[in-house]
Every structure is written in C-alpha cells, then in structure tokens.
Copies of this chain bind each other. A is one copy, B any other.
Amino acid sequence: MPILKPLPKRLLLGPGPSNAPPAVLEAMSRPLLGHLDPEFIDLLERVKEGLRNVFGTTNAMTLPISATGSAGMETALVNLLEPGERVVIGVNGVFGGRMAEVASRAGADVTRVEATWGKTLDPSEMAEAIARVRPKVVAFVHAETSTGVCQPVEEIATAAQQADAMVVLDCVTSLAGQPVELDAWGIDAAYSGTQKCLSCPPGLSPTSFSARAIDAVQARETPVQSWFLDLSLLAGYYAGEKRVYHHTAPITATYGLAAGLDLVLEEGLPTRFARHREAAARLVDGLAPMGFVPLVDAADRLPMLTSVELPERIRSLGEGSVRARLLQTFGIEVGAGLGPLAGEIWRIGLMGENARPETVDRLLEALHEILD
C-alpha cells in the first residue's frame, strides 16, 4: 500500500495554511541546488530583499528561518533574552501566551500584561508595565491568529523605545496581508510564517532583526540555548562574503517563498491589502443574515482572519459536525476556536490568494446549503 495516495482538493479558509497558487507549487517541484551553490546563495539574497520589501525594513539581517513561524518566535526570543533578563509580553490570545512560555523556557523574567481574548491590549497598561519593569524586551502580537484581533503597534512600540527596550513583534498572520512597517514603527525583531498571506506552504519563518538586535545578540554573556536557532551562527551562512555551512537550508521551500514573494510584489502591497479588506467586508456582510456575529469590534478586526461567534443553529447541529460537513462535502476548511473560545467561535481565513470575492461566495453558498 503506498504511503502517498491521491489527496483531496481543499479550499483552506482556516487560520492557515492557506492555498498556494500554481506558480508557488510549480516552483516547489524544481530540481534541487546545493545549499552552498552560488546560484542558491544568489536566490537567497533576492529572497532576503523581497522580505525586506514586505516587512518595510532595510534590516540587513532579514532572512527565512528554516522552520515554521513558531521557530521564528523562538529565534527572536531566545537570541534577545538571557537567563534572568526582563521581558514584558502582551497576552490576549494563544500566541501572546506562547511567547511568554518560550521566553520563560529561555530563563527570562516574564511580566505578562493580559487582555480579554477578542480585545486589543491596552497600550497604557503596556506602557505602565514597561515603565515599572524596565525590561530588555517588549513583545506582542500584531495579528492574533487565535482571536482575529489586530493590535495597533505604534503606541506600545513608542513606550518601549522611551524605556530603551527592544520590541519583538509577531507578524505571522499580518505579513503581506496588511501594512507591516518595521522601520517606521521601530521594531527590533519580527517573525512571520509562509503559510498565511504569503500563500506558500508552511515550513519557513521570515524574520527580520535590527542592527541593535544583532548588537545585543553579539553582546550576550551566555550562549544562545539553541544551536539551531543561534543568530550569530546563522549569520555565518545567511550573510557576509564567505558563506559557512551551518545547517542545510530548505532549498525547495525557498523556491516556493521566492515564487510567493514574486506574486506579492507584482500585485503590489497596497492592492493586496485592499483585496484583503474587501474580502473580509464581503464575508462579514454575507454571514450576518445567518446569525454569525463578529467576535471583534469593527475597528480592531484583522482583514485576513475573521472570528465569528456561532449562531444557535450551528451550536445545535454541533459546530464540529458542521465543520466536518463543510470539509467532507464541500471541501472547505474553516478553523475552530482555541482555548476559552473553543466551541464558541469559528476562525475564517481569507489569506493571500484566497482573499477574493469568489472564495467568500463559495463558503457562503456552502453554509446556506447546510443551514437553509
């Protein structure tokens, strides 16, 4: 019996992965180069430049980490924090909580500033904690994938800068779907994933580090606990004149990311952002008559991920059964709630190539068939 069997086609409207377009899938099937081949190093340089474009930065150390977004998170935190160092982390969902857990395992002294899931962090509470704790690092999530909340960045970043703290920003879901402006905002470390608004398969985490962040890594007194994610070692391969083997870079995934970035930059970021906003508006409008209510206030909603409280009809059918029917009968995946929101909400992603009216309509039609 073969291990790889025919696989069904899905429309992926959960919190990621999103569908990858044909150009990205074709790129993934190209023959391999070696990771030290000058042609591959050239490709990496162009990928780094493309990532600078979407991150809104001139940071030299902008690179795809060789694993998914959670590894990007771990890279940022374990490099910038040494045991005993203080960090203030905003927690209003799964991913803020994950940051706190990762920082804690790195031995950092973690102060959590909590907000209700589905609400934004209160910038004045963050500022108060920053002024009180005087942390080395302030970390929070731009687009909280567990709730659909978009966090305004600038006020918190400014409070961190005034306290001379570095800022780590989780851009896993926001990158390439809404404005991300690392340099304008003064962000020192950011990470994302390829499987959201970049519309590539999961497997790489685009990251970017300011010169100040790199200086802080170089000034560490203790080694970074992870050899695999040590930025000083990674710099030996990803930057500089002589490229030194560290680990074997994921060649094929890099091809996919290159093709994905080409599509993003051809379309143009403002057009792409507008497309995400319009698709989300169409979704919310179409869901309202069925009784789905957005979890998040209109001003704080993400364009690429909409969380909706479930109508009574879906609850009585069993929300898991309805999601299973959407998947099995209609080939459409939507995301369940996590943590305290499990069973309460769905998370509907319209990310990258999927942020289009026809995608929205396909989901709405399927829901009408189930509910009418």
Contacts and interface: CB of A to CB of B under 8 A. Distances in A.
A342 to B, nearest CB: 11
Please tell me how many copies of the chain the complex holds.
2
A74 B74 CA distance: 14
Nearest to A203: B250
B252 A201 contact: yes
B34 A19 contact: no
A227 B98 contact: yes
Contacts of A34: 10, 12, 14, 17, 333
Interface string A1-31: 1111101111010101101100001111111
A35 interface: yes
A31 B19 contact: yes
A122 to B, nearest CB: 26
A193 B10 contact: no
A236 to B, nearest CB: 13
Contacts of A28: 25, 28-29, 252
Contacts of A25: 28-31
A248 B69 contact: yes
B3 A253 contact: no
A86 B245 CA distance: 29
Nearest to A30: B7
Counting chain A residues whose Cβ lies within 8 A of the other chain, the interface size class is 35 or more
| Residue from A16, A33, A250 having most chain B Cβ neighbours under 10 A | A250
Interface string A227-250: 110000000000000000111111
A333 B37 contact: yes
A102 to B, nearest CB: 5
Interface of A: 1-5, 7-10, 12, 14, 16-17, 19-20, 25-37, 39, 43, 46-47, 49-50, 66-71, 74, 98, 101-102, 104-106, 193, 195, 201-203, 223-228, 245-253, 255-256, 258-259, 261-262, 265, 327, 333, 338
Given A7-B43, A69-B247, 15 more contacts: A4-B255, A8-B39, A14-B34, A14-B36, A17-B32, A20-B252, A25-B29, A25-B31, A26-B29, A28-B252, A66-B67, A102-B227, A105-B227, A201-B251, A202-B251
- Nearest first, the 7 A-B pairs at minimum CB distance are A203-B250, A29-B29, A201-B252, A4-B258, A67-B67, A70-B247, A202-B248
